[in-house]
Structure 1
């Protein structure tokens, strides 16, 4: 084995160790916690820790509701990836965080396994975010102003420990993916069975070996390609106060 091969083997094993550790934590939570709500919260926190460790600091990750300037609100989302540099969260109360729709890059549901019901559920959660209104205004710079740009499509996915199908992430899984435009799942990871994404249009599936890191690196590439979120029209949010004010 050459020195280069040795280095690659070490790095490969290190990536596998991260996946093994996360899988163990989730398995331990599932076997030791009886209450399904508490179990789900612990598993969700493990995924949040992984995302916070591997995503650059320009991204914030949290469980949150997504809101818009028309008064719309999404379902509660297990894991929201949003801009942390330009966009404050709004109306935060203890564990309830509210993120403006314009700030959102991606949304994920954290579930115990992949099956038809959870795929449909994740799709419905994604749709509740994608259907919200997003504003966009011009950005002023020293030489003038950049025109408002159209918001990019919000990425949606699902995170699990395993697949419930005997063939893992294969034909049966693919046949049960949501097909409605707002409910499409762009990516996902089932730690013990593999990962998938359709970032380049065609569905790509990765086996269990290195699935977690493969998924994270592919997601990083996708987030990088999206650039920066649009500039929010804060006056639209301010107008909520006038819209709800009673006539004298």
Structure 2
């Protein structure tokens, strides 16, 4: 009998654990290859961003787009360059696309992630500052008309922010006191909601508690928790395009 089928019949949970842990091992090998075979740090970073973007595209429903991007609001303010952005592609266009460059309207953003070689205090703070550059942008929301009237403007939801990397510097990973101390120093719009070290560590914040994922399935824990977060957010708010037009000097309503 097929080994996978046999395990699925006798121990379904173990079948899931083994199957998804293989996905993590594949990604780990790709990240290891880039770090050991590419001699330019910037290129290593670009390649690793692509690996993370591809794995998220593989698992997220098609309504979500995943790219690197800069976020822009109706006032023309922009964020820092963001390594990985999860945004709406069903109702919201990207703006001023030029080859790999794109602006994503602030209203369309669900989540942002920084991709680093490792997770430590320095990179954690850096990821928090990148998150803040997105969260401080203005997001519009207008009523949505339908046959029976109109839906009220949707309340904008908190944008999820995270950090992903190949490794983590703290010996005890996200369970370490050092991580928790550094994590608690990130407040307000710099808060980091989740993290992943493909070497075997992940966390997600739920009701104020830090949930730690299983070592051999850190990647899958990270993805499933992200899916749950996105599911809870529903759709993005309807963009007030007149606000964007007004910034161009248009006076009509």
- Tell me how far 1:200 sits from its aligned partner: 2.9
- 1:246 paired residue number: none
Matched, 1:239 2:246: yes
- Tell me how far 1:192 sits from its aligned partner: 1.4
- Tell me how far 1:205 sits from its aligned partner: 1.4
Say which of 24, 41, 52 aligns to 1:19: 24
Alignment of 1:46-61 (within 5 A): 46-61=51-66
3 and 129 in structure 1: CA distance in 2 versus 1, 3 angstrom threshold: closer
Matched, 1:101 2:106: yes
Say which of 46, 56, 68 aligns to 2:73: 68
- 1:85 paired residue number: 90
Secondary structure of the residue aligned to 1:111 is strand
- 2:44 paired residue number: 39
- 1:174 paired residue number: 180
- In 2, are the aligned partners of 1:80 and 1:107 still within 8 Å (CA)? yes
The count of residues paired between Structure 1 and Structure 2 equals 243
- Deviations along 1:20-48, one digit per CA (max 9) or x if unpaired, are 00011001101111111000000000000
Q: For 1:77 and 1:57, locate their aligned partners in 2 and report how far apart those are by CA, in whole Å.
A: 21
Q: TM-score, normalised by structure 1?
A: 0.94
Q: TM-score, normalised by structure 2?
A: 0.93
- In 2, are the aligned partners of 1:169 and 1:193 still within 8 Å (CA)? no
- Tell me how far 1:11 sits from its aligned partner: 2.3
* Aligned alpha-carbon RMSD (Å): 1.4
Matched, 1:221 2:228: yes
Say which of 117, 121, 138 aligns to 1:116: 121
- Deviations along 1:120-176, one digit per CA (max 9) or x if unpaired, are 000000000000000000000111001112200000000011111112222221211
Secondary structure of the residue aligned to 1:230 is coil
Q: For 1:59 and 1:3, locate their aligned partners in 2 and report how far apart those are by CA, in whole Å.
A: 31
Q: Which runs of 5+ in 1 are unaligned?
A: 244-248
Q: Which runs of 5+ in 2 are unaligned?
A: 1-5
Q: For 1:183 and 1:199, locate their aligned partners in 2 and report how far apart those are by CA, in whole Å.
A: 17
Tell which deviates more after alignment, 164-173 or 181-190: 164-173
Secondary structure of the residue aligned to 2:75 is coil
Secondary structure of the residue aligned to 2:154 is coil
- Tell me how far 1:217 sits from its aligned partner: 0.4
- Tell me how far 1:201 sits from its aligned partner: 2.5
Q: For 2:142 and 2:219, locate their aligned partners in 1 and report how far apart those are by CA, in whole Å.
A: 37
Q: For 2:138 and 2:220, locate their aligned partners in 1 and report how far apart those are by CA, in whole Å.
A: 33
Q: For 1:3 and 1:121, locate their aligned partners in 2 and report how far apart those are by CA, in whole Å.
A: 43
